[in-house]
Amino acid sequence: AQSVSQHNHHVILSEAASLELGCNYSYGGTVNLFWYVQYPGQHLQLLLKYFSGDPLVKGIKGFEAEFIKSKFSFNLRKPSVQWSDTAEYFCAVKLLYNFNKFYFGSGTKLNVKP
Amino acid sequence: NAGVTQTPKFQVLKTGQSMTLQCAQDMNHNSMYWYRQDPGMGLRLIYYSASEGTTDKGEVPNGYNVSRLNKREFSLRLESAAPSQTSVYFCASSQGPRRDEQYFGPGTRLTVT
């Protein structure tokens, strides 16, 4: 079945540690890729997006993600996390042959200890 | 701009009751979506509307109906609520159809007892 997989369900880091959250998808063809963040009690906000071009994309708050087409992956990274990064992170895929459907991963909860 | 707004923020229903969740966007977006969010399951698409006048089923449409009232508004109706529909419901919109991202509302926390 087609899916978006986030293998890390819960990550605990200390401040200043580096972060990498995995995202893999199983759809063939051209895709748009997104990472969203949900801070406690809030709605989802866009962190970054990939449509085409440079596979390394930079987003807000120092986050970046790399699209590796051969691995069907779009991993999220941040060199040094802060306590304020504590949130849940969702990877999402949009299929360009199905313009209006977005598929979300199950989310990764990040807990940053001060 | 308010972006995407949802009402109500919280709701408690008894099994069998009905209710409508309201969603509106002021970004002149063409596409609108309803998701439910359950712990460990991410967001699952209930229904979406690619453009005014059209609606389509998503992954989990059973027990729900939708109405795209106009370009701004997209409502979700639970005709006979069940405990399995206890969830947080998010509305989203996007410009569509290509190279766009979704903008989310603040969510409605629904509990069915």
Question: Which token pair is A31?
Answer: 């895709």
On average, the pLDDT of chain A sits at: 91
What whole-number distance in Å separates Cα of residue A58 and Cα of residue A78?
A: 10
Does the pLDDT of residue A18 top 70, yes or no? yes
Q: A108 vs A70, A92, B8, B59, B109, CA distance in Å? A: 23, 12, 27, 21, 20
User: Which residue did the predictor score with more confidence, A6 or B2?
Assistant: A6
Q: Are A12 and A86 in contact (CB under 8 A)?
A: no
**CA max distance for chain B:** 41
d(C-alpha B29, C-alpha B58), whole Å: 19
Nearest CA in chain A to B57: A101
Q: Is the pLDDT of residue A87 over 90?
A: yes
The predicted structure's pLDDT at residue B42:
85
Q: In 3D, which of A65, A54, A46, A62 has the Cα closest to residue A104?
A: A46
| CA atoms within 13 Å, Cβ hemisphere of A40 | 7
Nearest CA to A26 out of A3, A49, A8 is that of A3
pLDDT at B71 over 80: yes
pLDDT of residue A99: 62
Is the pLDDT assigned to residue B98 strictly greater than 80? no
B31 interfaces chain A, CB cutoff of 8 Å: yes
Read off the pLDDT of residues A36-85 as tens digits, 9 standing for 90 and up. 999 988 889 999 999 989 999 999 999 999 999 999 999 999 999 999 99
Per the CB < 8 Å rule, is B43 touching A96? no
- Please identify among residues 43-102 of chain A the ones whose CB lies closer than 8 Å to any CB of chain B: 43-46, 49, 51, 90, 92, 96, 99-102
Name residue, tokens 């996007």: B94
**Residue A98 pLDDT grade (very low, low, confident, very high; cuts 50, 70, 90):** low
Dist CA A57 CA A67 (whole Å): 8
Q: What is the pLDDT of residues B9-23, one digit of tens each?
A: 999 999 999 999 999
Contact B45 A102 (CB under 8 A): yes
Least Cα separation, residue A17 to chain B (angstroms): 25
- Number of Cβ within a 10 Å radius of residue A18: 10
Q: How far is B43 from chain A (nearest CA, A)?
A: 6
A100–B48: do the CB atoms touch at under 8 Å? yes
- Rg from Cα positions in chain A: 14
pLDDT of residue A2: 60
Binned at pLDDT 50, 70 and 90, residue A27 comes out as confident
With bands split at pLDDT 50, 70 and 90, how would you rate the model's confidence at B96? confident
Q: In B, residues 45-104, which contact A (CB 8 Å cutoff)?
A: 45, 48, 50, 56, 58, 90, 92, 94, 96-99, 101-104
Indicate if the pLDDT at residue B92 is higher than 90.
Answer: yes
- The alpha carbon of residue B91 is apart from the nearest alpha carbon of chain A, in Å, by 10
Is B97's pLDDT higher than 90?
A: no
**DSSP per position, A7-73:** --SEEEEETT--EEE--EE---S-EEEEEEEE-TTS--EEEEEE-SS-SEEE-GGG-EEEEEGGGTE
B21-59 pLDDT per residue, tens: 999 999 999 999 999 999 888 899 999 998 888 999 988
Closest CB to B96 among A45, A99, A104: A99
- pLDDT for res A100: 66
